[in-house]
Amino acid sequence: NAGVMQNPRHLVRRRGQEARLRCSPMKGHSHVYWYRQLPEEGLKFMVYLQKENIIDESGMPKERFSAEFPKEGPSILRIQQVVRGDSAAYFCASSRESYYEQYFGPGTRLTVT
């Protein structure tokens, strides 16, 4: 059973460009979470999604960031008009139910130049 998959593993964008981060949850998992980690800090929750629904986006910046988890395909975290402060590691996690332990992917390291 493959783990949580994230791609790309590394992404370089210039200021103003768009970044698209993809997450495929573990098989049988319908709950997806996105976290952001700045250097030397703990992970910060961004958004929690189920298939076709955003359940909790309290950790998402109000502008430029959006997330989706369509009926088919991976979950997408989209950052428009990236700025240097968006440079971080973005981790996706999935769980079978909302209260089960979360399994994390390897992360996508975004660098904004």
Partner 1 sequence: LAKTTQPISMDSYEGQEVNITCSHNNIATNDYITWYQQFPSQGPRFIIQGYKTKVTNEVASLFIPADRKSSTLSLPRVSLSDTAVYYCLVGDPNTGFQKLVFGTGTRLLVSP
Q: Give the footprint of partner 1 on this chain (CB under 8 A).
A: 4, 33, 35, 40-45, 48, 55-56, 58-59, 91, 93, 98-99, 101-107, 109
Three-class SS state of 86: helix
Nearer to partner 1, 39 or 72 (CB): 39
- What the block records as the tokens of 12 is 């370089």
Report how far residue 41's alpha carbon sits from residue 31's, in angstroms, rounded to the nearest whole number.
25
In the complex, least distance from residue 16 CB atom to partner 1, rounded to whole angstroms: 27
Q: Is 97 exposed, middle or buried (0-12, 13-18, 19+ CB in 10 A)?
A: exposed
CB of 57 to partner 1, least distance (A): 10
Q: Which is nearer to partner 1, 12 or 83 (CB)?
A: 12
